[in-house]
Amino acid sequence: MTRLSSSFFYTLREAPAEAVAISHKLLLRAGFIRPLAGTAGLYAYGPLMQRVLQKVGRIVREEMDATGAQEALFCQLQPAEIWRESGRWAVYTQDGTMFMLKDGQGEQAREYGLGPTHEEAVCDFVRAGLHSYKQLPFHLYQVQTKFRNEKRPRFGLMRGREFIMKDGYSFHATPESLGETYQAMYRAYTNMFRRCGLNFRAVEADSGAIGGSGSHEFMALCDIGEDTILYCDAAGYAANVEKAVSLVSDPEAIGPGSYAVKPTPGIRTVEQQAAMLGVPISRIVKNIVYVALYAEADPRPVLVLIRGDRQVNETKLKNRLDCLDVRLATEAELAAWVGVKPGFVGPDAPIAGVIRLADHSVDGLTDFSTGCNQDDVQCVWANWGENGLVLPEVTDLDTAQAGDRCHLAPEATLQSARGVELGHIFKLGAKYSRPMQVLFADETGELQPALMGCYGVGISRLPAAVVEQSHDNDGILWPIAIAPYQLVLVPANVAVEAQRQAAEELYGTLTAAGIDTLFDDRPERAGVKFKDADLIGIPLRVTLGRDLEAGLVEIKVRGGGEAQKVPLAEALVQVKGLIERLNSAQRSR
Ligand code: ATP
Ligand code: MG
């Protein structure tokens, strides 16, 4: 219930130039958010935004509570020690994600991090009070600001350095119990995102730095999404490209020939190599030198072999190596280690301490062309087991792509879509509970680490994804469940006493009926008020104008066609009916 005349309210005609995403533009223009001193990734949530966040928070809490999860609140300022215990201090400080602080100067000062996620803090809380299997399972969650020094904060609330997350952590005695809660969370997430009016899809996901086995991401489908989803409707398969698998096509045929070393001066790409040698790209083995970076060990060179027409999936590579990050070797490193330019490394490159891995796509490949550790030449009609070429350990390092055949329904091909990650659910197992000693006595009295699940939702990202999916040329179209107000009440001209008076009365009636009403009682022209109401995206607009003389008010659904005129006395009934209709349209989507 808000009177605009006594509120801090503004809208902008133009979005600031730095805004690219439509949701970022609209939320800025409509005054929902404002960057703090122009700093990337730091946004104040204005009163309108706060109302949306609270409604999202309410839906999320309802769905969480319905599963039996309990809300708590953990510390944001976290001593480095707990992160050292889990082994993540090095990970989060070296990749720059952690905002670090000290509580003083010099040797005595203690180190802290601002919580980017809360596994450690929750484990510390739970281990003090957990004794017996009889206390398990339980699930603790919180809704709170997180801090991450993101490398590329962008698109406004989509990727902030300070943002609101709902994070939950469940504790279990058995994998079956963890599995049950995981399924319950899958359903709860499906419900909450549907209730928020999102078009989304659950996909199989990589577990990333948080770790563990088994995870799904819930993706809002929209073009600016930073994630690529691959899916096959025939098999009901959907996965983040970081994790997706596919069937790689057979290599193209090649005529008979015998091993030879051929000149390929100056080539930079497999396309050039294929053209110069007259071989199909799918009969080329690329030998790519990476450097694996570890938290607490020296970097190591890694040689990855993959078919010419395929790309290395660096997430799979990082997971296989269990390292912090991978990067391509530099030209200088290649020169020092192999003595060649990029493109001329061989599968057998003599690099000290190298880890050799081959993607599936080169397993069984015959009559291929590849580098020979010598500049400006390649060999052709090479085969594993001949001429000193040995196939190293084979693993899946391939980037699946749209058009590949689905591994579950080989007659169907994968399609791709862009997605914004709304939520992520993980089975962590004992990844944190073991190092942090979150133990319970099982039925035989033996101490065991509790099995954990963790479940996150981007509370402040979610409304940005909604706006990305739900807007028109005039502004935002909030789904009624999370709109800052259900209804905007507009006296067309407050200088006309009859209009002002009737609007005041109707405001009282609507408010008393529990309808979340924004009363635009500003002494502005009707056109200005309509524009603002459309821009900020309020689902229903009730206008009191000239027709009031005939006892009529105008009711309009945002984005829903023509306004209808109804008798003033019936306005409340009509509004209630429309709210019910909008709500049930939302529920049945
Ligand atoms: P992303 O891949 O987008 O960086 P993440 O895998 O790091 O996400 P989680 O650690 O799983 O994210 O966090 C849970 C949820 O918090 C995400 O699903 C997302 O909705 C939200 N989130 C993560 N990072 C940010 C951010 N920088 N700004 C806003 N929301 C975020
Ligand atoms: Mg992230």
Torsion-angle region of 63 (φ positive above 0: left; ψ -120 to 50: alpha; else: beta): alpha
Q: H helices then E strands: how many in the chain?
A: 13, 32
Which structure tokens are listed for 35?
């960057």
Assign 3-class secondary structure to 191-258: HHHHHCCCCEEEEECCCHHHCCCCEEEEEEECCCCCEEEEEECCCCEEEECCCCCCECCCCCCCCCCC
Decide if 7 is inside a domain: no
3-state secondary structure of 550: helix
Q: Check whether residue 360 and residue 502 sit in a common domain.
A: no
Contacts of 153 (CB under 8 A, 6+ apart): 40, 41, 159, 160, 161
How far apart are the CA of 501 and the centre of ligand 2, in A?
A: 52
Q: Tell me how far apart the 2 most distant CA atoms of the chain are, in Å.
A: 97
378 with 272, same domain: the answer is yes
In a domain, 350, yes or no: yes
Taking the centre of ligand 2 as the mean of its atom positions, its distance from the CA of residue 269, in whole angstroms, is 32
Same domain, 497 and 460: no
Is residue 268 one of the residues assigned to a domain? Answer: yes
| 150 Cα to the center of ligand 2, angstroms | 7
> Which tokens belong to 9?
């309210």
Å from CA of 426 to ligand 2 middle: 14
From the CA of 162, which ligand is nearest? 1
Query: From the alpha carbon of 153, which atom of ligand 1 is closest?
Result: 27
Same domain, 102 and 137: yes
77 and 175 co-located in one domain: yes
Long-range contact pairs involving 200-203 (C-beta distance under 8 Å, separation at least 24): 200/419, 200/422, 201/229, 201/231, 201/238, 201/417, 201/419, 202/238, 203/229, 203/231, 203/238, 203/239, 203/240, 203/419
DSSP state of 553: E
Distance of CA 545 from the midpoint of ligand 2 (Å): 50
Tell me, yes or no, whether 116 lies in a domain.
Answer: yes
Q: 337: number of CA atoms within 13 Å, CB side?
A: 25
Whether residues 66 and 90 fall in one domain: yes
DSSP result, 121-149 = HHHHHHHHH--BGGG--EEEEEEEEEE--
The pLDDT of residue 295? 77
- Residue with CA at minimum distance from ligand 1 atom 11: 424
Q: What is the pLDDT of residue 208?
A: 66
Same domain for 194 and 80, yes or no, is yes
Question: Total structural domains in the chain?
Answer: 3
Helix/strand/coil (H, E, C) string of 21-82?
CHHHHHHHHCCCEEEHHHCCCCEEECHHHHHHHHHHHHHHHHHHHHCCCEECCCCCEEEHHH
What pTM did the predictor assign? Answer: 0.93
Bond prior to 137 in cis (omega within 30° of 0): yes
Q: Are residues 241 and 264 in the same domain?
A: no
Domain co-membership, 524 together with 558: yes
Q: Are 185 and 60 in contact (CB under 8 A)?
A: no
CA distances (Å), origin 208, targets 66, 91, 227: 29, 12, 14
Whether 412 is covered by a domain: the verdict is: no
CA of 281 to the centre of ligand 2 (A): 35
User: If you take atom 23 of ligand 1, which residue's CA is the nearest one?
Assistant: 458
Q: Looking at the structure, do residues 109 and 186 belong to the same domain, yes or no?
A: yes
CATH code for the domain in which residue 368 is found: 3.90.960.10
Ligand nearest to the CA of 167: 1
**Is 145 found in the same domain as 97?**
yes
Please give all residues whose beta carbon lies within 6 A of any atom in ligand 1, as ranges. 117, 148, 150, 159-160, 163, 165, 208, 421-424, 456, 458, 460-461
Domain containing 146 equals 54-245+417-467
**Residue with the nearest Cα to atom 22 of ligand 1?**
458
Residues of the chain whose pLDDT is less than 50?
none
Residue nearest to atom 20 of ligand 1 (CA): 458
Spatial CB neighbours of 238, under 8 Å, sequence gap ≥ 6: 201, 202, 203, 204, 229, 230, 231, 232
How many residues belong to the chain? Answer: 589
CA distance linking residue 240 with residue 419, whole number of Å:
9
Torsion-angle region of residue 353: left (phi > 0), alpha (psi -120 to 50) or beta?
Answer: left
Residue nearest to atom 2 of ligand 1 (CA): 421
- Closest-lying ligand 1 atom to the alpha carbon of residue 426: 11
One-letter identity of residue 468? E
Q: State residue 294 phi and psi, 5-degree precision.
A: -115, 155
Ligand in nearest proximity to the CA of 160: 1
Nearest to 489 by CA among 518, 514, 461, 460: 518
Pick from 461, 462, 468 the residue to mutate for probing ligand 1's pocket: most ligand atoms within 8 Å of its CB: 461
Query: 126: which 2 tokens?
Result: 């739970």
Ramachandran category for residue 156: left, alpha or beta (phi over 0 → left; psi -120 to 50 → alpha): left
Angle between helices 461-469 and 22-29 (to 10 degrees): 100
Supply the CATH number for residue 150's domain: 3.30.930.10
Smallest CA separation from ligand 1 atom 14, residue? 456
16 assigned to some structural domain: no
Burial class (CB in 10 A: 0-12, 13-18, 19+), 461: buried
Distance, CA of 461 to CA of 315 (rounded, Å): 24
Q: What is the pLDDT of residue 585?
A: 85
CATH number at residue 510: 3.40.50.800
pLDDT at position 217: 97
Cα end-to-end distance, the chain, whole Å: 28
Residue 586, pLDDT score: 78
Same domain, 514 and 463: no
Of 164, 424, 427, 459, the one to substitute when testing ligand 1's pocket (max ligand atoms within 8 A of C-beta) is 424
| Distance from the alpha carbon of residue 165 to the mean position of ligand 1, in angstroms | 8
Specify if 324 maps to a domain: yes
Does the residue 252 lie in any domain? no
